[in-house]
C-alpha cells in the first residue's frame, strides 16, 4: 500500500520479424496506431502523460470523462487514437497532437478515444509485479467500455488469427505479451510487436527546398536513425505531406537551422546538394516498403511528427 506514483514510464515492445513459435504463451492484442498515454486518475481528476512524460491532458478534454467513471485512484496504460471510417487514423490524430487547448470545432472534427490495455496501480496498491493475466483481469473489472474510453480485447494464443484480423481491419499489427510477465516501466521486458506495414521512427536532420508548387516551402526531409550513439543518414522523404504539415515543419525547422550536416555517415551527393541542415531534435514517422542494401528507406511516405517522443527515445529496432 502507498501513495500514487507521480510518474510510471510505459513498458515498451521490441519489433519482431514474425510471430514466435511459442505464441501460445503470449496474450495477443491489436496494435493501435496512436499516441501512448499513461492515465492518472485521483480525486475526480485526470492527468494524461505521454511516453516522454509530457502532460497531454489539455489537448484531449473529451477524455476527462474517465475521471468520473472511477471511484478509486488508478494508473492506467493505453493509447489515444482518432478513428475515421471505422479504423484508427494517425493523420487525423495529427491535427490534435499540436493543439494545447482545442476549440470545439476541432474536437468535433477529430474526436479521440482512449483505448486501455493495462492497469499499473489501484487504490493504494502497486500492480506492476502481477502477471499480465491478473492485471488484465483487474482492468476489465473496472468496466471501462463507454463513450470515448474503452478497454481493448486480448486473446490467449491464436496469434495467427489475431494478426490476420488486424490485417483485414486495416490495423498496424499485433502486440504479444507473455502471460506471466510483470510490467517493467521504461523497458523492453519481453513484449513483442509484429507489424503489417513497416513503419520507422526517424530524426529530421535537414531538408531540401521545394520546387514548382512547393517553391516556397519544403521539398523533402533528410532523415536519420540512431546508430551506435551517432545519427546515420537513412534517406529522404518527399511524399505524404499535407499543406498544414509543410507549414508547421517549415516553422519549426527554421528555428533549428545549423551550418553543418548532423549526419555521421556520408550522404549521396544528390541528396546533400542544396540541403539545409537542422539540429536533430524533431522525431517523425514514415511508412516504407523495406530497407535497401545501403540501409536507406525504400519508398518512404511521411506520416507525421511524433511530438510524444524525443530523439533519445528511439532505438534501432523501431
- β-strands 257-258, 276-278 pairing: antiparallel
Q: Which residues contact 259 (CB under 8 A, 6 or more apart)?
A: 277
Helices (H), the chain: 65-68, 90-97, 104-109, 132-140, 159-168, 243-255, 269-272
Identify the H or E element spanning 267. Answer: none
CA distances from 201 to 231, 285, 295 (A): 13, 4, 14
Angle 83-85-86 from CA coordinates, rounded to 5°: 65
- Annotation says 31 is catalytic: yes
Q: Which residues contact 298 (CB under 8 A, 6 or more apart)?
A: 288, 289, 290, 291, 292
Count CB-CB contacts under 10 A for residue 171: 20
Identified catalytic residue from 9, 31, 193, 309: 31
252: its cell numbers: 519549426
Helix (H, G, I), strand (E, B) or coil at 211: coil
Residues forming the active site:
31
Amino acid at each position: 500500500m502507498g501513495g500514487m506514483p507521480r510518474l510510471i514510464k510505459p513498458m515498451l515492445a521490441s519489433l519482431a520479424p514474425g510471430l514466435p513459435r511459442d505464441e501460445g504463451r503470449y496474450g495477443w492484442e491489436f496494435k493501435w496506431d496512436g499516441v501512448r498515454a499513461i492515465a492518472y486518475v485521483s480525486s475526480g481528476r485526470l492527468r494524461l502523460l505521454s511516453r516522454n512524460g509530457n502532460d497531454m491532458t489539455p489537448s484531449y478534454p473529451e477524455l476527462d470523462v474517465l475521471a468520473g467513471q472511477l471511484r478509486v485512484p488508478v494508473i492506467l496504460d493505453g493509447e489515444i487514437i482518432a478513428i475515421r471510417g471505422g479504423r484508427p487514423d494517425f493523420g487525423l490524430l495529427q491535427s490534435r497532437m499540436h493543439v494545447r487547448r482545442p476549440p470545439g470545432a476541432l474536437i468535433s472534427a477529430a474526436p479521440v478515444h482512449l483505448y486501455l490495455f493495462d492497469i499499473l496501480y489501484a487504490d493504494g496498491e502497486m500492480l506492476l509485479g502481477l502477471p499480465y493475466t491478473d492485471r488484465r483481469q483487474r482492468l476489465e473489472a473496472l468496466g471501462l467500455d463507454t463513450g470515448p474510453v474503452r478497454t481493448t480485447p486480448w486473446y490467449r494464443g491464436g496469434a495467427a488469427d489475431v494478426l490476420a484480423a488486424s490485417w483485414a481491419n486495416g490495423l498496424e499489427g499485433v502486440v504479444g505479451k507473455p502471460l506471466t510477465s510483470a510490467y517493467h516501466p521504461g523497458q523492453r521486458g519481453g513484449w513483442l510487436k509484429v507489424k503489417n506495414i513497416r513503419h520507422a521512427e526517424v530524426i529530421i536532420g535537414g531538408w531540401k527546398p521545394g520546387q514548382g508548387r512547393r517553391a516556397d516551402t519544403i521539398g523533402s526531409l533528410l532523415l536519420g536513425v540512431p546508430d551506435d550513439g551517432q545519427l546515420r543518414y537513412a534517406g529522404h522523404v518527399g511524399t505524404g505531406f499535407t499543406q498544414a504539415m509543410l507549414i508547421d515543419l517549415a516553422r519549426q525547422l527554421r528555428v533549428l537551422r545549423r551550418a553543418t550536416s548532423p549526419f555521421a555517415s556520408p550522404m549521396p551527393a544528390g541528396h546533400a546538394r542544396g540541403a539545409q541542415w537542422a539540429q536533430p531534435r524533431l522525431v517523425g514517422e514514415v511508412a516504407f516498403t523495406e530497407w535497401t542494401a545501403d540501409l536507406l528507406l525504400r519508398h518512404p511516405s511521411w506520416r507525421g511528427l511524433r511530438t510524444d517522443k524525443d530523439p533519445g527515445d528511439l532505438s534501432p529496432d523501431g
